Amino acid sequence: MAIDDILLEAEELMEKAAEHLRHEMRGLRTGRASPALVENIKVEYYGALTDIKAIAAINVPEATQLQIKPFNPSDLKSIEKAINDSKLGLSAMSDGKSLRLNLPPMSQDRRQKLAGQCKEYGEAAKISIRNARRDANKAAEADQKAGGMTEDMLSGAKEQITELTKTYETKVESMVTTKQNEILTV
C-alpha cells in the first residue's frame, strides 16, 4: 500500500470521527431551541423505529419552543409518547394537530453537565482519531517490511500521519470549546 493511500485512508477515518462528533453535539441543548434536539428521536411507526424528522415537520416558532407537526395526524400520539419517553426531560403539549415543546431555562448545574457531556464526546472522537493513527502506522510498517518503502520513507510517513492526527485533534478541541461556550453562555 502506498504512503498516499495510507494517509488518505487515515484522513477519511479521522474525518468520520469529526463528523460523528458534530452530529452528537447537534443534539446537545444550548440556550435556544433547535430542531436537532428532537429530530433523531425514534418513533414507533408502522412497526419500525423511525426518526421524528422523517414523519414530521419540526419548526422553531420562538427561541424557547419547538413545534412538531406530523405529516399524518394519526402519528401524533406515537410522536408524543416517544418525546415523553426520551431522556430530554421535556413534555409535549398537543393541540390535536401538532405538538409544542416549551424548553425551560437551563439551570447552571444542567449547563455544567451538558458541557461535561460535550467533553466526553470530544474524548471519544479523539480516541477514534488516535486509533486511525495507530492503524495507519501499522500499515506503513507492514509496507516497509514487505519492501514497499525504505526506512527514511517510513519515518516521513509516520511524521505525516502524526501531523494529520494533530490537525484533527485540534479541530475536535475547537469544536468542543465552541459548543461548551454555547452551552455555558446564558
Q: At what angle do helices 151-184 and 108-145 cross, to 10 degrees?
A: 170
Cβ proximity of 153 and 3 under 8 Å: yes
pTM score, two decimals?
A: 0.73
List of residues 6+ apart from 60 with CB closer than 8 A: 32, 33, 34, 35, 66, 67
Tens of pLDDT along 22-80? 988 887 777 677 888 888 888 888 888 888 889 999 998 887 888 999 998 888 888 88
The residue behind cell 510498517 is 141
